[in-house]
Chain A
Amino acid sequence: MKNSGVEPLPTDDDIIVIEHLCKSFGKVQAVVDASLRVKRGEVCFIFGPSGGGKSTLLRCINGLEKADSGTLIVDGIDVTHKKVNIDLVRAEVGMVFQLFNLFPHLTALGNITVAQEKVRKRSKKEAERVARELLERVGMPEKADVYPDQLSGGQQQRVAMARALAMNPKIMLFDEPTSALDPEMIKEVLDVMLDLAKEGMTMVVVSHEMGFARAAADRMVFLEEGRVIEEAATDELFENPKEERTRVFLSHIL
């Protein structure tokens, strides 16, 4: 924040570039003048109090919300530009929601294949092969033909991750992926996320799971009242937070 205006030009390495982004809902300012960069292969962890604008910022990145002003460049494409086909950007950006949002009328397999077939135009056979591989990877190959309402929360979230991964996204966004889960299921979801991080996936994670941040995050961003209060490397932010508000918040939740 303090160095806005003298930021270096974005390089090829910056897969997400956010500059002076603002978004309001009526009188509520959800995101205020936020600037942020995410490098390829980096895990960026966003945290902060409820209503701080974390979800809104994340949703702006894949165009579910339209920013009022500012610049937002995702993988070299200026998302805020009017003529940009946002669907093309979205296919490259996977999103995992707090409440899973699985498609209840499709089986686990169907959830993972539908966009592959309709958006990526893969054959049914190819899409199913990819889907089964991903189900294997999230540890539930036997659930291919089960409908979402017969899966536990943790299993649903893992299918949701497989659904997003099936599109071979360059970036994965997570909006509090474990907040709606019972404690015993949180680990199975975090484990998949940890694997992803190890494989070098670019991830932007909104969460309260500080254990995950310590284990996997490269950088952490503290967001409050729509503003980026502090942004630092993970160790630095944990050991030596510069801002008083960050310190207060961390002391409450750790």
Chain B
Amino acid sequence: MAVTTKTDERESKLLPWTERLSEVPWWALIILLLGALVVYFIIVSPTYQDAFLFLVAGVKITIGVSLISFFLALILGLVLGLGRVSKNVVFYTLSSLYIELVRGIPILVLLIYFAWVVTPLFLQFLNWFGTALANVAVGPLVGLAENMATLAIQDVDMVVRAIVGLSFAYAAFEAEVFRAGIQSIQRGQMEAARSVGMSYFQGMRYIILPQAIRRVLPPLGNDFIAMLKDSSLISVLAVRELTHLGKLNRARTFRTFETWNTVAFLYLILTLSLSIFVKFMERRMAYEE
């Protein structure tokens, strides 16, 4: 590392200044400048300030929903990814089916589908199950059964439905990331694990996954950024995240320009700082390899 930076510096000194200018990351400077401009407006202009203060609450929901959904997507994605590399035909087929189905449907449609079709269906099932359980339940189970039987669709918050939708949609993408990571580990690793007596599951758990997960951290980071942006879609479910609050602020103040400038600015702050973090992580791992 140190050696290459040195030669880079020496070479760049030899370049004519016109070429050196073309190597400056102008795009980053321009974004920085625009960002500074928005910050300036937020400080000096009351309309911008008003929009900013109104929208900040949405940023919190956006971050919270993204974090929870991504965490759930990782867990489900890992299970599906293990299915994709499994020799068990049933496990493999179910995982593949799920992944292909979900990846073939636009996320917006998936979100609506989970909120308005899957959740009500699941609730109907719960009601039916609760009723059936109430007939046979004893002791503390009675209360639980009754709760299940009477749970109404209005009781399921839109935030919950949005998180469910995002998690199930992104699980399909993360599954493919995990599958690629697992398959990138040399076959000899599992063979060595088996040859010291580990089961397939132990080999995965203690030998393959620790290596695979390290390798997929950068793509997972990028997917988290993608999810953060896609979380704007849950505004169709009227979840009070950043985009939805943008709509509300526009309706409240009729300041289209200031509102959406601030919304875009807030998203950019989140995504750009995350992508800098991911790039840093990528570079550190390339160095360690």
Contact = CB atoms under 8 A, between A and B. Distances in A.
Contact of A104 (B191, B196, B202, B211): B211
A105 B197 contact: no
A107 interface: no
B188 A101 contact: yes
Nearest to B192: A101
Given A103-B189, A103-B207, A91 B196 contact: yes
Interface in B191-236: 191-199, 202, 206-207, 210-211, 214
Nearest to A163: B196
Interface residues of A, number: 28
B196 A164 contact: yes
A64 interface: yes
By size class, the interface of chain B is 10 to 19
Chain B interface secondary structure, helix, strand, loop or mixed? Answer: helix
Contact of A119 (B189, B202, B207, B211): B202
Q: Which of B189, B191, B196 has the most CB of A within 10 A?
A: B196
A119 B188 CA distance: 19
B206 A118 contact: yes
Contacts of A238: none
Interface string B171-192: 0000000000000001011011
Contact of A114 (B199, B206, B214): B206
Given A87-B198, A94-B196, A101 B191 contact: yes
B194 A115 contact: no
Contact of B195 (A64, A99, A102, A118): A64
A119 B197 contact: yes
Contact of A90 (B186, B189, B194, B210): B194
Given A103-B207, A118-B206, A167 B197 contact: yes
A62 B191 CA distance: 10
A91 B197 contact: yes
Interface string A66-93: 0000000000000000000001101111
B197 A115 contact: yes
A130 interface: no
B195 A164 contact: yes
Contacts of A63: 194
Nearest to B211: A105
A80 to B, nearest CB: 17
B188 A118 contact: no
A221 interface: no
A114 B207 CA distance: 9
B274 to A, nearest CB: 26
B196 A119 contact: yes
A94 B186 CA distance: 20
B215 to A, nearest CB: 11
A79 to B, nearest CB: 13
A95 interface: yes
B197 A64 contact: no
Contacts of B210: 105
A97 interface: yes
Contact of A115 (B186, B198, B211): B198
Given A114-B206, A118-B202, A119-B202, A103 B192 contact: yes
Contacts of A102: 192
16 contacts: A62-B195, A64-B191, A88-B197, A90-B194, A92-B197, A94-B195, A97-B191, A101-B188, A101-B192, A103-B192, A105-B211, A114-B206, A115-B198, A119-B196, A119-B202, A120-B197
Nearest 8 interchain pairs by C-beta: A91-B197, A115-B196, A101-B192, A95-B195, A101-B188, A119-B197, A90-B197, A105-B210
Given A105-B214, A119-B197, 20 more contacts: A64-B191, A87-B197, A87-B199, A90-B194, A90-B197, A94-B196, A97-B188, A101-B186, A101-B192, A103-B189, A103-B192, A103-B193, A105-B211, A114-B207, A115-B193, A115-B198, A118-B202, A120-B197, A160-B192, A163-B192
